[in-house]
Amino acid sequence: MREQSTTARPPAERSPAQEGICQEADGRGDRETPGAGGAALPPSRGVREALPIVLGYLPIGFAYGVLGAAVGVPLWAIVGMSVVVYAGSAQFLAVGLLDQGASALTLVTTTFLVNLRHTLYATAIAPYLESMGRGRLAWVAAEVTDESFVMNMRAARGTRSLPFGFTASLNATAQLSWITASLLGGLVGGFVGDPLRFGLDYALIAMFVALLALQTDHLREVVIGLVAGLVSLAFWTQGHSTVGVIVATLAASGVGLFFPAAEEDSDAGTGPKEAKGPPVEGLPRVGEPEATWGTTGATGQDGP
Amino acid sequence: MDGVNLFLAILAMGAVTYLPRALPLLALADRVMPPKLLRFLQGFPVAVLAAFAMPLVLAPEGSLEISAGNLALLVTIPTLLVARMTRSIIATVIFGSVLMAVFRLLGGG
């Protein structure tokens, strides 16, 4: 019933110009050219779009597991957090707090504050999800992370509407890698040294750098990136990384309103296209890891 | 913290993490948003990326360090070039990680 509602789709603000950017970004290497509709985003494509996240989550999730085992967190709790909480920085912080013997209240409060930024992601991605029932929305919500957000939004640039099957498989692949890595790290525990010492913690930074390089072809994006980066940097150096990310995102996006969007340069009249990808059923749902850097724990590493 | 309390704490952590993720989606999906709001929200992805990346690259230890001693900065410059040239995220991630590993090994770190 709900899916028959005639609610209009969000106005399409995306233009062919933006699609061009996306296609350019997608045209080579590991990805294929997105089509115009949801049909171009099958679940299998979601799995592939998750691969850069997997490269980042595996080493950091592993490090989280090792750290948890090292301070005596039981394996079921190490993995359980990756399934139920699925938020890298919060999980690193939780391990540190457990090591210090913090109370449950401290644990929960810290987690809440560190993860509040997800509100921004859920708000921004809502207009791009295809029309779907509440159950599916509730499912997608569970796996919103820093990385899944940016990868989903990147895909939305090309097609305007994200099919449930695509988003769910992208997210599930990412969380599965986070859970698996946590489990392996927890099992190996103290037998290895710092698993990130050789630079694998740079994988997620490299992914963000790549996405930035691919999404800043227009003045507006460059300005947004610079403002956000500098505001965040200012908070970061004062030790307020968590709130810094939120303030920086809001401030930079606000400043961005004063610059013309790419589509306004070329053709502002394109209406929103509705992607009509057939809903894909039966996607397995996985946990939700996310990498966190903004909220650095004592170790300075944040996973998903 | 004993096992039962830890179990309950993890459930509560999951709940307080889930709500900020779910409430906006449930409230906003299928709603028409004003174009200006949409444009505002469209800035989020780039803003989030930069908000995470810039501090980690320019101040990996917490204070601004723009020098040759900053490995993250040294690695990021060629990584950016690789990203622009290949336009492949996977290739960029592999390049950056390997380069960082090489630098750390060379540096004895």
Average of per-residue pLDDT values in chain A? 78
Q: Where are the alpha helices (DSSP H) in B1-109?
A: 3-28, 35-42, 44-58, 71-86, 89-106
Which pLDDT value is given to residue A266?
39
Which pLDDT value is given to residue A241?
84
Measured CA angle at A10 (ends A9, A13), to 5 deg: 130
Which pLDDT value is given to residue A43?
95
Which pLDDT value is given to residue A277?
36
With an 8 Å Cβ cutoff, are A115 and B12 in contact? no
By Cβ distance, the residue of B8, B46, B84 closest to A224 is B46
Amino acid (1-letter code) at residue A62:
F
Give the contacts of A224 (CB within 8 A, at least 6 positions apart).
A252, A253, A255, A256, B43, B46, B47, B50
Which pLDDT value is given to residue A295?
35
Interchain CB contact of A224 with B (< 8 Å) = yes
Measured CA angle at A153 (ends A263, A58), to 5 deg: 150
* % residues pLDDT > 90 (chain A): 57
Q: How far apart are CA A93 and CA A72, in angstroms?
A: 14
Q: Which residue has the higher pLDDT, A272 or A105?
A: A105
Whether residue A293 is predicted with pLDDT greater than 60 in this model: the reply is no
With an 8 Å Cβ cutoff, are A142 and B18 in contact? yes
Three-state secondary-structure class, residue A260: coil
Residue A303 banded pLDDT, cuts 50, 70, 90: low
Pick among B30, B39, B73 to test the A interface (most A CBs inside 10 A) = B30
Q: How far apart are CA B99 and CA B82, in angstroms?
A: 12
Q: What is the ipTM of this complex?
A: 0.91
pTM of the complete model: 0.77
Residue A302 banded pLDDT, cuts 50, 70, 90: low
Pick among B37, B46, B94 to test the A interface (most A CBs inside 10 A) = B46
Q: What's the mean pLDDT in A152-171?
A: 92
Residue A39 banded pLDDT, cuts 50, 70, 90: low
By Cβ distance, the residue of B11, B13, B20 closest to A118 is B20
Residue that is written with structure tokens 């489990």 in the block: A183
Residue B105 banded pLDDT, cuts 50, 70, 90: confident
